[in-house]
Chains A and B, each alone.
Chain A
Amino acid sequence: MNAPTAALVAPRPERLRLVGQRRQILSLMHQRLMLGMLVYAGVVALIVLRILYLAAFGDHAGSRPTVSAYIPERGDIVDRDGQPLARTIDAWSIGLHPTKVIGDKLQLARKLAQLMPEKSEAEYFAMLRSGKNFFYLRRRAAPDVVEAVNALGEPGIALNREPERLYPQTFLAAHVIGFTNIDGHGAYGAERAFDKQLSDPALRGQPVQLSISMTVQQALEHELQDAMTKFSAIGAAGVVMDVHTGEVLAMTSLPAMNPNAPGKITPDQMFNRAALGVYELGSTFKPFTLAMAMDSGVVSGPGQMYNCPDALPAYGHIIHDTHPFGRRCSVAEIMMESSNIGMAQMADQVGTARQKAFLKKMGFLDRVEIELKERGRSLTPSTWGPFETMTVGFGQGIAVAPLQLAMGYATLFDGGVYHPPTILKIGPNHPLPPGRRVFTADTSYRMRSLLRLVVMKGTGKNANAPGYRVGGKTGTAQKVINGRYSQSINITSFAGVFPMDDPRYVIVVMLDEPKATKETYGFTTAGWNVAPVVGKTISRIAPMLGIAPDMHREPDMSEVLPYVQEAK
């Protein structure tokens, strides 16, 4: 009865159906709205977070990259006392962009020629009209020139600051320090040898410390330049070396070059006569032969006698002396008067094989063992027979660099131990490499009094510096000209060691083609021209090197003096 009638279960009215639809649509819209809002909020949140992040950790306007220390574009080179020898500074450069020039080109060329007279007006005008993009007008320009050029007000002229290599000491030790090329890379000397270290950003903050001592270098260069001018020599070289470490304290080659203007250096100036040039250095070789003879047991001591006639025929040749004895003479006298005849006999007794072995151990048969790239290789006889052994014994037929000779003397007087020469200061960053023994310590000790004798009584008297106990050996070698030994043109050298009672420094000085003067009484031998250079230089540098002068100290001269026949 109560069953619903069809009339009662009427279909849903249209309005209600619409309500349902609207709800659906509404919820959909809500969902979309919510999504939109979330996206918007997300974007806002992102922006806010970014702003917060930037505020906390970001860079602020005007912030510069943090630099805790100044790092130069290229590392410094300093001497052993820390004095700068090479530095990079910001210099002005004046450039020209011909295409950007707006003013009257002829007028500009005229003004430029006035300000920078190294080029003519016509040349400047040609540059301006060339249509090229860029020219350097001047690098490392002086501030007043830069100011004047800036006052021209020409937009085509570019004034820039760019790193420039400056050598404050100009000519000093130029062959050791070297110079850089236009790209700022090492082209010569230490600049070239240590280019990697000098340009590496991680390493260039620390300067490269050389073993060169500026003051010693200056003294050597000055005295050598004086002698070169006085004796009208065509070249000169000098080396001062520490006996115990092989550190080169000074090395010079004359004529000098100015590394601040590498473009103007002539090939003759650029040639490093101390390390690259090899010369027959003559009698300065004799101490080595004597040491070899002593080490081999050929010579028992300075008292051993040799027959020294006026001329010695040997293997089809005749050997002469400048001061012939014409009698029997002791080893001490042979050394003192630099007798070729006596020394040739000693070398003959030593023999070719032993001589070669010694020279090899001393590093005389190879390139000089030094960091510089400009280093020479010694010249040795192509056929090394018994006669060549004799001539090598007194320094003929073998050509070495003066640096090599200094190295040989350092070996001989460092107790017979060879240390390779170095231009880097020995210290914590560059420890002393282990040496190798060449001569016995006893031989080294006995050579002291023999070389002191040469300076006290022999050919090297002019090298004496009172109080500093100089010992050494002169060497006068005839220069080979067109394949023949010249009778008048010499290369004179002196190898000295001081103080002789406890050798600390070696000095080697060489003059190329010195001429005779009135003071030398017409002589061109080493005792007259290079020996005084050594004496003067040692008087100057020894106090700086901490050697106390002492007029009462000498090496044990009683070992040699009894074997010297006094002149009547």
Chain B
Amino acid sequence: MSVRSFHSVFMASAVAGAALGCYLVSLRVASERAALEDVESTIVQTQTDIRLLQTEVGTRSRLTQLERWNASALDLSAPGASQILGDKFQLATLVRPQHKLEVEAPVVLAAAPAPPPSQPLARDSDPDAAPAPSGDLLHTASLKVEPHEASARKQATVKLAEPKAQPAKAVAAAEKATGKKTGEKVAAAETKPVTRPVRTAKVDPLAPLPGGKSTAKGTRTDR
């Protein structure tokens, strides 16, 4: 009974409470918005300040001024065409590694001689191909120097081949020329035909030397 009689009071207070709540919400929204506006205006203010400072710095460091300072103090100039490089290879060509000659160092082989394989080597990529000879696989990273004797023999064969290739007339003429001077050495010349070209090569036939006159003359008259 009593509750019912207070119905209208409750209704009124509920409505008033709701209205108050709504008002508080809107108040909160308004205050938030105001704060946001404050931040925004601060941002704009800061932007203006930044602009002003940028303008000042830009004005003080204007290009004309920099150019003037450069002319009076720094004296820098634009890079020349040779100072600009296109790529890293061009850069690398500027620095040349120092070439060191190590004469004393012993010749080191880049590979150690291995015992010949007991079975043919199979290649990974090409199993059907015939196995390569072991000699092909072994590379030495040094110049092959032949023993002294072998080279001398080789030279002798070359020198022997020369007179063979020459017509027999030339050989006979040479014999005649030497025979004129030293008859005893004819036999020696026949046994050692190699030494003869070596001797003629020592004297330049075109040089006007009085000492070598006879030899030169001899060769020339034979022709």
Contact = CB atoms under 8 A, between A and B. Distances in A.
A220 to B, nearest CB: 11
Interface in B16-60: 23, 26-27, 30, 34, 37, 40-41, 44, 47-48, 51-52, 54-55, 58-59
A510 interface: no
Given A66-B37, A70-B44, A70-B48, A551 B81 contact: yes
Contacts of B52: 89-90
Contacts of A166: 55, 59
B200 to A, nearest CB: 50
A55 B23 contact: yes
Interface residues of A, number: 37
B81 A170 contact: no
A467 B86 CA distance: 12
B30 A55 contact: yes
A70 B54 CA distance: 15
Given A70-B48, A172-B64, A215-B63, A64 B37 contact: yes
B64 A69 contact: no
A12 interface: no
Given A56-B30, A60-B30, A468-B81, A168 B86 contact: no
A170 B61 CA distance: 11
A395 to B, nearest CB: 31
Interface stretch (A305-313, A364-372, A405-413, A542-550): A542-550
B26 A55 contact: yes
B209 interface: no
Interface in B43-90: 44, 47-48, 51-52, 54-55, 58-59, 62-64, 67, 78-82, 84, 86
A507 interface: no
B34 A63 contact: yes
A222 interface: yes
Interface string A538-562: 0110010000111100000000000
A383 interface: no
A155 interface: no
A218 interface: yes
Contacts of B40: 66-68
Contact of B84 (A67, A215, A548): A548
Grouping DSSP codes into helix (H, G, I), strand (E, B) and loop, the A interface class, with mixed when no group exceeds half, is loop
B55 A172 contact: no
Contacts of A548: 84, 86
Contacts of B48: 70
Contacts of A218: 63-64, 67
B23 A549 contact: no
Given A168-B59, A168-B62, A67 B81 contact: no
A124 to B, nearest CB: 30
A145 interface: no
A207 to B, nearest CB: 12
Interface string A42-78: 0000000000100110001001101111100000000
A166 B40 CA distance: 26
A2 B163 CA distance: 199
Nearest to B54: A84
A534 B52 CA distance: 37
Contact of A70 (B23, B26, B47, B84): B47
Contacts of B37: 63-64, 66
A441 B51 CA distance: 48
A527 to B, nearest CB: 22
A56 B47 CA distance: 31
B30 A169 contact: no
Interface in A70-107: 70, 83-84, 87, 89-90
Given A67-B41, A89-B55, A549 B81 contact: yes
Contacts of A170: 59, 62, 64
B26 A466 contact: no
Contacts of B51: 70, 87, 89
Nearest to A71: B44
A169 B23 contact: no
Given A66-B40, A467-B81, A83 B64 contact: no
A169 B62 contact: yes
- The 4 A-B residue pairs with the shortest CB-CB distance, nearest first, are A467-B81, A549-B81, A56-B26, A218-B63
Given A89-B51, A168-B59, 18 more contacts: A55-B23, A66-B37, A66-B40, A68-B44, A87-B51, A89-B52, A169-B58, A171-B64, A172-B63, A215-B63, A466-B82, A467-B84, A539-B78, A539-B80, A543-B78, A543-B79, A548-B84, A551-B81
27 contacts: A55-B27, A56-B26, A56-B30, A64-B37, A66-B37, A67-B40, A67-B41, A87-B51, A89-B52, A168-B55, A168-B58, A168-B59, A169-B58, A169-B63, A170-B62, A172-B63, A172-B64, A214-B63, A218-B67, A222-B67, A465-B81, A466-B80, A468-B81, A539-B80, A539-B81, A549-B81, A549-B82
